[in-house]
Structure 1
Amino acid sequence: MIRKLIASVVVMSGVLAASTGAFAADDSDVNVLYAGSLVNLMEKSVGPAFEKETGLHFKGYAAGSNKIANEVKGKLRRGDVFISASPKVNANLMGEANGNHVSWYVNFAESPLMIGYNPKSRFAADFKTKKWDTVLREPGIRLGRTDPKLDPKGAFTVELMTKAAQAYNQPDLVEKTLGAPENPAQVLPEETLVGRLQSGQLDAGFFYSTETSDLKIPSIHPAPELGIKANYTLTILNDAPNSAGAARFVNFLLSAEGRKLLAEHGVDVTKPAIKGEAQAIPPSVQAVIDAAQQ
């Protein structure tokens, strides 16, 4: 009987120890949902630097910003931090009608929309000598972009071409370059677009400057006078499983070191601007924002 009792205690101790370890591991994980254009920055730079600084574990998930918001809203995905490429996406998560997933967000960086091209493409030389809109209308060019319904970059692409058509008095520019807004011959998931270009499956595509700079993709800045660019925001989701870890990640990203990493990866760092319920921001995050605004 004594031996059985001892054995039971040992088993229960092992179960409790395993459970405690599991919870500890969960507490050390910080799940960051972020715009797919930031994959290289987050996975190779910010994530590892954050882990080294804090001892916490960065777990990233990249996709189109609207796609992530839809998954959060539909309760298909949970996360601690959400980084979007457009402030408009946050509106879909704010308020009771939208599930009250977000109460506030901070604008912290920008990145102009660029046209990146494969240097081995037969159209590469044309991008160096001809107007960009002329090259995009050349027969046979394989152009890639993201879904305007799922990703701000896709919507920015359509916006850019529409404004350019008006500014350059070329009413058929959108139709000749993009076709329908959701043209299946061009629209691809954001997380695969760079790979398709680098592998030669695409001749050119629409990317943010952080992508073209970071990955050494030859690029041109189409119609800079139209001012089409990503406006990156970040927030801590209201139902974050690890809100304390989320605050530490936001603090790191907005710190001098985090902002330095952003700049090194071709992102235009801006002074943080708060939108929404400022009183809901954790005090430690507010302190870092205040410091970065000076």
Structure 2
Amino acid sequence: MLRKLLVSGAVLTGLLAANVCAADEGTVNVLYAGSLVNLMERSVGPAFEKETGLHFQGYAAGSNKIANEVKGKLRRGDVFISASPKVNASLMGAANGDHVSWYVNFAESPLMIGYNPQSRFAADFKQKRWDQVLQEPGIRVGRTDPKLDPKGAFTVQMVTKAAELYHQPDLVQKTLGAPDNPEQVLPEETLVGRLQSGQLDAGFFYSTETSDLKIPAFRPAPELQARASYTLTILNDAPNASGGTRFADFLLSAKGRALLKEHGVDVIKPTVTGNAQAVPSSLHAVIDAAQ
């Protein structure tokens, strides 16, 4: 009897394991920059599921935060979409865990200053230069952590350049405070919601966020311009590499690129960095078709 129970238990365990594997094969885990939440969850993800029958499972956060979690083995995924090529470099090579061998630059989005149209400072944004408004008493400004998110780093860089351009040595301190100022620094995936709900008067966003969600915004002077450079890769230890390849094929296809454009992303000619031979052949074909 004991032997029969052990055999039955082993069979049941095998069946459960098979079911888990099957479920994993039907799900594609996409780790992506938090500035793409609306695009991924409401547009690309559902369209991918309809096109392929696979399940899209997204995780949004600052690009550096995701990379740190991958390196620390706190999170696994099939596809990684970053807002900066530098983040991929931090995952390449044996010294960095060899999580990434290649990546594709496929889109860009400039940094903007967006504001809540219901804010008491909204009229000032229409009459004054942005740096002047951000120094007004009581204004609530949101941004991301420069250590965890490229957008946060771009924000600090842009205001630092503005301090020089506008001859205001203390501009960074007056508008941003310390780099990790807890009164301003928020998770990237929550920043838009905080602005829309009235918890913030203004913030730093990419154009894909402001145009996609109809947030009033303006672009700083050309001398201050900074932009996200979105990249895509399939992680070397992807649990579902084949599913990840199908997602990459879809996102860079004509249909996927059209969705990117609809959501205010500047689509560019895809370029591969790193080991091009490791790029799946189907993705090579999609990239060539997009030239």
Structure 1 Cα separation of the partners of residues 7 and 72 of structure 2:
43
Q: State the match for 2:140 in structure 1.
A: 142
| Deviating more after overlay: 191-200 vs 221-230 | 221-230
SS in 2 for 1:186: coil
SS in 2 for 1:162: helix
Structure 1 Cα separation of the partners of residues 6 and 91 of structure 2:
49
Q: State the match for 1:159 in structure 2.
A: 157
Q: State the match for 1:32 in structure 2.
A: 30
1:167-182 matches, within 5 Å, as 167-182=165-180
User: How well do the aligned residues superpose, as a CA RMSD in angstroms?
Assistant: 1.9
Structure 2 Cα separation of the partners of residues 138 and 19 of structure 1:
59
Structure 2 Cα separation of the partners of residues 23 and 93 of structure 1:
26
Structure 2 Cα separation of the partners of residues 86 and 108 of structure 1:
11
Structure 2 Cα separation of the partners of residues 91 and 7 of structure 1:
52
SS in 1 for 2:290: helix
Match of 1:223 among 212, 215, 221: 221
Q: TM-score, normalised by structure 2?
A: 0.95
User: Which amino acid in 2 is paired with 1:292?
Assistant: A
1:205-249 Cα distance to aligned partner (Å, 9 max, x none): 001111111111111112233220100001000000111111100
Structure 2 Cα separation of the partners of residues 124 and 108 of structure 1:
34
Distance 1:128 1:5, change over 3 A: same
Match of 1:131 among 121, 126, 129: 129
Structure 2 Cα separation of the partners of residues 193 and 59 of structure 1:
21
Q: What's the CA shift for 1:8?
A: 9.7
Q: State the match for 1:61 in structure 2.
A: 59
| Deviating more after overlay: 45-54 vs 162-171 | 162-171
1:157-192 Cα distance to aligned partner (Å, 9 max, x none): 001101111122222211111111111111111111
Q: Which runs of 5+ in 1 are unaligned?
A: none
Structure 2 Cα separation of the partners of residues 212 and 80 of structure 1:
28
Q: State the match for 1:210 in structure 2.
A: 208
Structure 2 Cα separation of the partners of residues 201 and 38 of structure 1:
21
User: Which amino acid in 1 is paired with 2:42?
Assistant: K
Q: TM-score, normalised by structure 1?
A: 0.94
Match of 2:278 among 277, 280, 289: 280
Q: What's the CA shift for 1:283?
A: 0.8
Matched, 1:198 2:196: yes
Q: Which runs of 5+ in 2 are unaligned?
A: none
Q: State the match for 1:100 in structure 2.
A: 98
Match of 1:23 among 21, 33, 47: 21
Percent identity over paired residues: 77
Q: What's the CA shift for 1:11?
A: 8.0
| Deviating more after overlay: 132-141 vs 63-72 | 132-141
SS in 1 for 2:233: strand
Structure 2 Cα separation of the partners of residues 147 and 9 of structure 1:
53
Structure 1 Cα separation of the partners of residues 222 and 258 of structure 2:
25
- Equivalenced residue count is 291
| Deviating more after overlay: 199-208 vs 218-227 | 218-227
Structure 1 Cα separation of the partners of residues 52 and 108 of structure 2:
26
Distance 1:123 1:18, change over 3 A: same
Structure 2 Cα separation of the partners of residues 163 and 118 of structure 1:
25
Q: What's the CA shift for 1:6?
A: 10
Distance 1:17 1:122, change over 3 A: same
Q: What's the CA shift for 1:17?
A: 4.6
